[in-house]
Structure 1
Amino acid sequence: MGCDNSSEASSPKICGENCSADQDPTSPESPDGTENDGTENDGTENDGTENDGTENDGTENDGTENDGTENCSSSDPALFQVARWPMPGSTGEDHSVQYRVDEEVTHDEITGLDWQRQLASVSLTDEDAAEYCAELSLGGHCDWRLPTRVEGVSLLELQRKPPSFDPGAFPDIDGELVLWSGNPERLFRLGSDGGLRVRSPTSAGPDRVRCVRGGGVPDSDGSRYELTPDLARDLGTGLTWTRATSKQTYADAASMCAGLQLDGGGFRVPSLKELHTLIFDSKPNGPWIDQSAFPSFPAAVSGHIIFWTSSLEATDSNSAWMLDFATGTAEATSVTATFTLESTLHVLCVRSRP
């Protein structure tokens, strides 16, 4: 077949053998169809007989030698320390976590993370925990790693009485889980009550480990926030934050945020899981927040920068969760002898995704 390059042609340009797109179909050098009329390439010599699948029937490459467990390396947890998933709706309540569960792996439909469903069969020291995940082969994957702080916190369902995790997705919650902190000298421990604590390897005993894989990737230009003079919109979570802070009691914090009229209002006190997304694990010291986005963030007093959250303890409506930006830890007021709902603590206000 020749080439039809005319603008009047109703069908796309079609080229046969030895034909270029700019060739004149009327040229003597152009094939006229006689020598390439389909006779020599009528399918007889290539009728599938010589390549009928017999020699490549999958026997030599049946997946046995490449089942996903070879030539695999664990990802660096530092790439996954920022939340890149949608957060709760306008009420501020923690969203219902949606899981897809099989025998070995629990997949979180919201975060996109795959979790080891059963805890490691033995307790591991800090030094051994990362190695255990890096060497784990599970569910056809071998790129497992220790979860970051924000990934571990994403599992919390604080409306549940402890353990604050979905028992259908994670049937063996027991003790504290090891979480990567960005600092090799200390790891976080996420308690079954929702508390987040830091212990140094020298003082911490063995703990249970639940490995994770998958997750987002860093933005190509490194940007995280879309800034205005008063507000910072997190491009990963969709949450919009006030850049200025204040100090209030628990009740006054709720009134203050609700009364803000910045950019149309709609602000409230963040939940514990929402406030956790602001923690900036890469910083060697507190305050653990991106101070280019929050330049007037308060300094530590006696080693602490404690903020209110809207989250109440499931077992005590007179106790609220607090987050310390100097240490990255979270605790409820009922656990401390220092704070009550009448205490004056720092506050940031937040607005959910549209």
Structure 2
Amino acid sequence: MQINPYLFMLPRTPGQIVWDYRNHKQFELNLEYSTRLAQLIDNPRAFDTNNIIDTQFLNTGILITSTQRAIEWGWDELSKIFHIGTKNIPCEYTPKNIHEWSRHYLDHCNEVLASSGSGADNSRHATGKLIALPIPARLPESYLADALVNRKTCRSFTGDAITLDHLSTLLYLSLGHLKEREDDLDDSVADGLGARRSSPSGGGLNACEGFVHVQNVECLEPGLYAYHAADHALSFVNPLPVAPLGQLLCGQHFINNLPVGLFISARFDKLWWKYQHSRAYRMAYVEAGHISQTFQLVATSLGLGTWLTGALKDDQVEALLGLEDNTEQPLFFVGCGRSDGQVMCKELKALLNQRQQQ
């Protein structure tokens, strides 16, 4: 008998809370249960099948029957709890197709809007007089300014193929080691850390990597590919799964026909090599955000619509990318393709119109 290694405990007088952060379960223990748990932590062999508390601990997963292999983790327990505890968003129901997603999403939105404490009021309450600002001037005409203005999140894609040249441009300007900046170095840069990307990276470590989800790219077989930034090249990882893309992204089936997408992963081993404290864990997500925005701006400049999400079926994505129990972990997804620019997919729009007419 073993204690579940994915527990943390919080004192909450008159008892304590035990949180199984891997399985998203919470238990409140009184003094009797807390005392017994302390005894079992000290000596798991003291487990007694005739003790009702012991059997409850076993049935709830506080105790487990087999030893679980510890996940390699170079930082402190706080960042480990945060990372594992925020994986695999618990869902009572995962939509199986676009129509189920539309109904599920619309019902959720209606429930949120009907609840008390609505977050619809985004105004900041001022304690003094407001100072009016001048009307913003039009951004200067340039490719960057146009991309910033035109970038939008789309949920309706045609599925048409994109060219390999476009994919090459997207990856190079988002994740590539820019040849144009090879001379932009000085003696302060340590050996091995001279590569520069278009997006900033904590410590210049370039800790984020990319896996390309290819469904319809000219001259490239469908599948999952790893992008090698130093070589500006791809390597095949796995064929596409039978399940549609939306199933990997928590039932968001409106992007099932997205021709290409990018799973942005983080090399935690690189980060904890330099930053051995949990605050640095934030930098992985900050860097992923930088890369995601760069990807979208490049895609917009190429005339493509973009979509992004942090809602992943982590375990399934990790298996697909070959990152199970790895120090490299997927954090985010961003994709692009030909789009009519609609923010709402046609199935959700039709359902909304139908309900409004009822």
Question: Computing the radius of gyration over CA atoms, which structure comes out larger, 1 or 2?
Answer: 1
Please classify the TM superposition score into its range, dividing by the shorter chain length. Answer: under 0.3
Give the alignment's TM-score, normalised by structure 1. Answer: 0.21
Give 1 or 2: higher helix fraction.
Answer: 2
> Comparing both chains, which one has the higher relative contact order based on Cα–Cα distances under 8 Å and sequence gaps of 6 or more?
2
